[in-house]
Amino acid sequence: MIVQFENFNRKKAHVNLLYAQEGVHIAHCRYDKPSEDEFFMPHAAITCVKQGRKVVFLNGYKHEMRAGDALYIPKNAIIYSDIPVRKEAFISVNMTLHNREEESPLAPLACRVTDNLPLKELAAEQYMSLSTFKRWFHRHTGASPLQWMIDRRLERARYLLQHKHRPVAEACFASGFQDVSYFIRRYRQRFGVTPGAAFSD
């Protein structure tokens, strides 16, 4: 289940806020147990690994991070993170860039990216007509609601195939697609390979 970054971070990690001023928050995060998470990042951020390692899937691509590595996470990204804590804790320092005038309105949609809700219902939840919702969504993402949701579902499917080694049909349905043939076609268009090839890698 995808949750907003601030909500999951407080529940699973020991967080010590080091700095919070003028839209910049810097926090020291410690994990004492393994953690697999899916979360939505409403703000741009930079994460730096201080101790341990983690695997991050961002925009459909895998990043294996160890101590000394840093990764920039753009605003409105959905992240899949796997922290395999073993003998020592995982420690990172995260800097998030908050701008109250540019708060992301996408969290309610991002956290339901695998749901198959009609666009009219999504628009109604934002108290908008369908046409207004489409214009609003394009202004914030540069894409149509349908294309944005499909791209996020494909990224989740790639994570399940490559990192969790889920069968193609299982990754398809777990990512919100309802037709395997359609899923295979869209996956190949996006990533240049079939889901079966990604699963076997």
- Position of tokens 């540019």? 102
Residue-wise pLDDT tens digits, 29-85 = 999 999 888 888 888 899 999 999 999 999 888 899 999 999 999 988 899 999 988
Residue 6 — very low, low, confident or very high, per pLDDT cuts 50/70/90?
low
At residue 21, does pLDDT exceed 90? no
Domain count, the chain: 2
Q: What pairs with residue 96 in β-bridges?
A: 25, 45
CATH number at residue 45: 2.60.120.10
- Is 91 within a domain? yes
Chosen domain end from 100, 129, 145: 100
Q: Give the C-alpha separation, 181 to 157, whole Å.
A: 14
Are 119 and 94 members of one domain? no
- Is 93 within a domain? yes
At residue 101, does pLDDT exceed 70? no
Chosen domain end from 78, 100, 122: 100
Are 72 and 120 members of one domain? no
At residue 18, does pLDDT exceed 80? yes
**How confident is the model at residue 159, as a pLDDT?**
92
- Is 105 within a domain? no
Residue 175 — very low, low, confident or very high, per pLDDT cuts 50/70/90?
very high
**How confident is the model at residue 22, as a pLDDT?**
76
Chosen domain end from 76, 100, 124: 100
- Is 119 within a domain? yes
Are 144 and 165 members of one domain? yes
**How confident is the model at residue 5, as a pLDDT?**
62
- Position of tokens 């320092």? 93
**How confident is the model at residue 59, as a pLDDT?**
86
Domain that residue 119 falls in = 112-200
Residue-wise pLDDT tens digits, 104-163 = 668 778 888 888 888 888 888 888 899 999 998 898 888 898 899 999 999 999 999 988
At residue 102, does pLDDT exceed 60? no
DSSP-assigned letter for residue 7:
H
Mean pLDDT of 165-192: 95
Residues 2 and 38: beta-carbon distance below 8 Å: yes
Return the closest-CA partner of residue 127 out of 141, 108, 114. Answer: 108
Q: What are phi and psi of 164, to 5 degrees?
A: -95, -10
**How confident is the model at residue 104, as a pLDDT?**
66
| Coil, strand or helix at 127 | coil
Mean pLDDT of 85-111: 78
CATH number at residue 142: 1.10.10.60
Residues 40 and 110: beta-carbon distance below 8 Å: yes
Q: CB 26: neighbour CB atoms within 10 A?
A: 16
Are 65 and 136 members of one domain? no
